[in-house]
Amino acid sequence: MPHYAPQSELETHTVSNQPKAFGDVDLFASDKALKGAVEKAGGGVHAAKLSEFGKRCGAFETQDWSRQAQENLPKLKSFDRFGHRLDEVEFHPAYHNLMSLGLDSGLSASAWNEGEAGHVLHGAMMILMNQADAGVTCPMSMTYACVPALQSTPEIADAWIPRVQASSYDPNFIPADRKTGVTIGMAMTEKQGGSDVRANTTRAVPDGQGGYILTGHKWFCSAPMSDAFLTLAYTDEGLTCFLVPRWKPDGTRNGIHVMRLKDKMGDKSNASSEIEYHGAWAERLGEEGRGVRTIIDMVQHTRYDCILGSTGGIRAALVQALWHTSQRRAFQKALIDQPAMRAVLADLVIESEAATAIAMRVGASLDRMATDEHEAAFMRLATPLAKYWVCKRQPGFVYEALECHGGAGYVEEGPMPRLYRQSPLNAIWEGSGNVIALDVLRALSREPDSLEAVQAELKKPLGRHHAYDAHVGRLADYLTPGNLHEGTARGFARDAALALQGAALHEMAPDFVFDAFCAQRLASDRNGLLYGDVSPDVDQGRLIERAIPAV
């Protein structure tokens, strides 16, 4: 779709010193960090597919879909005009275009369909799709992540996994067995419990025919137009996981009633809701009373997607800052050539590089874990560590990228306000900071092999940079008996994640990027409180040159 320049010669003045519109760019090929990390993680075989997807995500047309989907919010249709219950959500056509872009390209299915580096492929696609529109990635993520939970019950897996793996978006509100592909949602959180899912009050009773009848309220149900939902409810045996389809086996609508849509700070294109189960029919997933155990593998995959979502949001903000400052001039220089701005941009590049590297390293561990015990153990601890740190870094990063635009970054016509409002989401989704830090403590106590796997990873770059060596040495102090507890869990999560980012960069990025990260993030004299306070050991020019997208 061509992008025509607007009129710049006006009666009162000439519009000048403004950057060109950014679009019609291959977001994969122009991202050297992502391209290199995919290659190092074993996903080079997918480069052509990712380049094609990157072009579609970077198209002006896709940008316009995102704008329309963000401005024309989902609408709840509770009843039809005759008073019949509907519980349907109506979306702007642009939302459906974005959903088709992701799902038809295999974003949710590739990890399970591709024999080689499927999770790395999924990860790169998720990073790219988040740059196109972050809101629609929520149902895509849950559809991807549901597979391990579905596999806990073979008869359910046989029916539903082929629909998940179909790589087809079918927006029709009809029973799943009549659709070309499905999406899967989650409804876990309740008002009184939040992250404490064991405070659940939803009840499930057998229907006498192999199914269950659910009654209860779910305070957060994302993507309520999904074809089925994973949910938790109590039976007499304890907290149990269930699959609740939108349609009953007899072809009638299930008792899932959408009470209202959430008015959220960001994530506007995606519908999130409060729902109630009024005698909703469900199938049990996994063992009765073992609901948390059934969903735990799904949680690891959605946490992976949180890392990817923040990595994509960070890259999107960085690109906008680089693009704007490379073309906007002040005091006879491009902003990007002003020393103070150049230091800020180089620091932002370091953050984006580190997020990309650790994201792809976690993806590689997901690909390898079935046949490699070390990788499986690494994944169990590295995933929450990376989720904790990368997602926490996103809001401050996006703010700094916004400030690079000056006042132009603060107006709604541009992309920065949307990126900023979106930025806190992934740090909250699938466990906010304290929850993740405590999960890290539990992993250390219950699965000591996960710590051993991470420690083995951290040994690989030893001797390459003095700041890295010293940081890993300080990290070991946490493991002294009595030093690691709930009060120090966040500090350990931060420092362990930083060490893992360094190790990932050593494996996946050029030496000058690894050296810059060590000097800027790990040296004892760098407090990291402000972007742009850059170590003299950082090669700012090479970092920026590597990161700036060529169009």
Helix axes 448-459, 433-446, angle to 10 degrees: 100
Tell me the CATH number at 212. Answer: 2.40.110.20
Q: Tell me, what amino acid is at 521?
A: R
Report yes or no on 156 lying in a domain.
Answer: yes
418 CB contacts (<8 Å, ≥6 apart)?
70, 266, 268
CB 429 within 8 A of CB 186: no
Q: Tell me, what amino acid is at 414?
A: G
* Count, residues in the chain: 551
**Which one-letter DSSP state was computed for residue 246?**
S
Provide the pLDDT for residue 4. 63
**Together in a domain, 423 and 451:** yes
| Cross-strand pairs, 212 | 206, 282
Report yes or no on 8 lying in a domain.
Answer: no
- DSSP-based three-state secondary structure for 524: coil
**Together in a domain, 89 and 114:** yes
Distance CA 74, CA 270 (A): 7
Q: Which residue has the tokens 């001797």?
A: 463
**Together in a domain, 262 and 362:** no
**Together in a domain, 76 and 173:** yes
Report yes or no on 221 lying in a domain.
Answer: yes
Report yes or no on 14 lying in a domain.
Answer: no
Tell me the CATH number at 431. Answer: 1.20.140.10
One pLDDT digit (tens) per residue for the chain, 551 residues: 556 677 788 878 888 888 898 999 999 999 999 999 999 999 999 999 999 999 999 999 999 999 999 999 999 999 999 999 999 999 999 999 999 999 999 999 999 998 899 999 999 999 999 999 999 999 999 999 999 999 999 999 999 999 999 999 999 999 999 999 999 999 988 988 777 788 889 999 999 999 999 999 999 998 999 999 999 999 999 999 999 999 999 999 999 999 999 999 999 999 999 999 999 999 999 999 999 999 988 899 999 999 999 999 999 999 999 999 999 888 889 999 999 999 999 999 999 999 999 999 999 999 999 999 999 999 999 999 999 999 999 999 999 999 999 999 999 989 999 999 999 999 998 889 999 999 999 999 999 999 999 999 999 999 999 999 999 999 999 999 999 999 999 999 999 999 999 999 999 999 999 999 999 999 987 766 789 999 999 999 999 999 998 76
Q: Among the three residues 288, 314, 332, which one is the final residue of a domain in this structure?
A: 288
**Together in a domain, 257 and 298:** no
Distance CA 57, CA 54 (A): 5
Q: Tell me, what amino acid is at 388?
A: Y
**Which one-letter DSSP state was computed for residue 253?**
B
**Together in a domain, 61 and 169:** yes
Q: Tell me, what amino acid is at 387?
A: K
Phi, psi torsion values for 510, nearest 5 degrees: -60, 160
- Token digits for 35? 């391209």
- Token digits for 373? 């015990």
Distance CA 551, CA 452 (A): 44
Provide the pLDDT for residue 54. 98
**Together in a domain, 283 and 297:** no
**Together in a domain, 311 and 276:** no
Concatenated DSSP letters of 412-440: TTSSHHHHHHHTTHHHHTTS-HHHHHHHH
Report yes or no on 78 lying in a domain.
Answer: yes
Provide the pLDDT for residue 18. 85
**β 228-235/184-189 pair status:** parallel
Q: Classify burial at 322, counting beta carbons within 10 Å of its beta carbon; exposed 0-12, middle 13-18, buried 19 or more.
A: buried
**Together in a domain, 306 and 223:** no
Report yes or no on 10 lying in a domain.
Answer: no
CA separation, residue 322 to residues 59, 129, 347, 391 (Å):
18, 20, 12, 21
pLDDT digit string, tens, across residues 82-136: 999 999 999 999 999 999 999 999 999 999 998 899 999 999 999 999 999 999 9
**Together in a domain, 477 and 407:** yes
Q: Among the three residues 288, 313, 331, which one is the final residue of a domain in this structure?
A: 288
Domain boundaries, position 471: 293-547
Report yes or no on 3 lying in a domain.
Answer: no
Put residue 226 in one of left, alpha, beta given phi > 0 → left and psi -120 to 50 → alpha: beta
The CA-CA-CA angle for residues 110, 309, 186, to 5°, reads 70
Work out whether the CA dihedral 365, 32, 546, 58 comes out positive or negative: negative
Distance CA 225, CA 90 (A): 9
**Together in a domain, 322 and 281:** no
Domain count, the chain: 2
326 CB contacts (<8 Å, ≥6 apart)?
19, 334, 335, 336, 548
Helix axes 489-508, 373-403, angle to 10 degrees: 100
Report yes or no on 19 lying in a domain.
Answer: no
What is the C-alpha end-to-end distance of the chain, expressed in Å?
Answer: 16
Q: What is the pTM (predicted TM-score) of this model?
A: 0.96
**Together in a domain, 282 and 298:** no
Q: Among the three residues 263, 288, 313, which one is the final residue of a domain in this structure?
A: 288
Q: Can you say how many angstroms the Cα of residue 149 is from the centroid of all Cα atoms in its chain?
A: 19
